[in-house]
Amino acid sequence: MDNPILVTGAGRRVGFHIASRLKQDGYDVLAHYRTETDDVQKLRHLGIQTIQADLQDTSSIMVFIEQLQQLSQSYRGIVHNASAFTPTSEDLNQAAEQYQHFFTVHMLAPFLINQALSATLKGPGDDPADIIHITDINVENPTPRFDIYGTTKAGLHNLTVVSAKKLAPNIKVNSVAPGPVLFTESHSQEVRQKMLAETPLAREGGAEPVYLAIKSLLENPFITGATIPVDGGRRLSKA
């Protein structure tokens, strides 16, 4: 592969859209997925190379890194979209397992991948390469019911800032923090209406605004250590 952008968690929803749109805009893309889906098949039909890995523990992450190093000698950038999202369990043992899992996906995997690939990241011309972390507006104001999710995403936000310092000047490191961009089937109509009522722009954003934020970071050579919220202003109205 020729200097691709790696997108993790590209097997569905926002990750699928990011990988597809990058390809449409002329980038070479390597799309990571955990579980085979119809969207993964669609990515292949678009000419996007895919790679499977379950980022569940250190050993599986290290195997994934070895595969990445074999697939390409250089990378244009990395978009860390892989994520885990469920309410915190009330059972203490389950919560402990949940915390370890969320930490591994949201913090450990991006850290190890960034460390391993940093020497291979190469931007266009004399411009720096890019690492982009997909965090969440919960980083600013976490929801108690999702405290494990929010605190591990906050760790990813901190990784953004420290990595921007550590990897400059050859690599820019930024975050995109989505809000209510895509509802899931688990969201009842009541929950959807409540979320929209708390969102100043009063609409479901969709995946495209997330991609547009990523694209703006890729195309701007002088932004690092920054976070772009893509939430319709919802973070402004949360008490």
- 3-state DSSP of the chain: CCCCEEECCCCCHHHHHHHHHHHHCCCCEEEEECCCCHHHHHHHHCCCEEEECCCCCHHHHHHHHHHHHHHCCCECEEEECCCCCCCCCCCHHHHHHHHHHHHHHHHHHHHHHHHHHHHHECCCCCCCEEEEEECCHHHCCCCHHHHHHHHHHHHHHHHHHHHHHHHCCCEEEEEEEECCCCCCCCCCHHHHHHHHHCCCCCCCCCCHHHHHHHHHHHHCCCCCCCEEEECCCHHHHCC
Catalytic residue of the set 27, 33, 75, 149: 149
Respond yes or no: is residue 149 known to be catalytic: yes
* Residues involved in catalysis: 149
